[in-house]
A = this chain, B = another copy of it.
Amino acid sequence: MNLEQTSMTPISTLQIRPLLERYGLRATRQRLGLAKLLFSKGDRHVTADVLATEAHGARIFASLATVYNVLNLFAEVGLVRSFTVEGGKTVFDTNTTEHCHFYFEDSGEIQDIVGGKFAGQFAPPEGYEIAKVDVVVRLQRKQDARA
């Protein structure tokens, strides 16, 4: 069973329900709506409250608690990937492949880094294996007077 096409490829609305079912998730109104917002525009990086606000604007009604529940659930089954940025905010990323992130300190925006390879660079200690590698490259506006 190949479950690898969960990122990079925008998924049409009609494919959302099968997508959830394939991951063993019940297709509720909220999950369908949130999944649609997440997966029909290509890769996205959202926090729970951003997604909740967006959902509200799109007339998809889901409480903030539900948005958290759904995002955590999606992360558990592997539909999305989550990581934490400064301030302790949790960001959910629809790109589940191994990659790094730019974090823009001025705007708070997140961007995938394409081609950032680091797998196999780290040798885990005896008895442990690598669960995940989080790489966040924090960027600030270039403002120094130097050439």
Contacts and interface: CB of A to CB of B under 8 A. Distances in A.
Contacts of A135: 118, 133-135
A123 to B, nearest CB: 9
A137 B133 contact: yes
A133 B122 CA distance: 16
A33 to B, nearest CB: 27
A128 B104 contact: yes
Q: Is the interface of A mostly helix, strand, loop or mixed?
A: strand
A144 B127 CA distance: 11
B133 A139 contact: no
A141 B122 contact: no
Contact of A138 (B100, B116, B133): B133
Contacts of A139: 124-125, 128-131
A97 interface: no
* Range of interface residues on A (Cβ < 8 Å): 35 or more
A118 to B, nearest CB: 7
A140 B134 contact: no
Interface string A97-135: 000101011000001010010100110110111111111
Interface of A: 84-90, 100, 102, 104-105, 111, 113, 116, 118, 121-122, 124-125, 127-142, 144
Given A102-B124, A134-B137, 7 more contacts: A116-B121, A116-B122, A128-B139, A128-B142, A129-B144, A134-B135, A134-B136
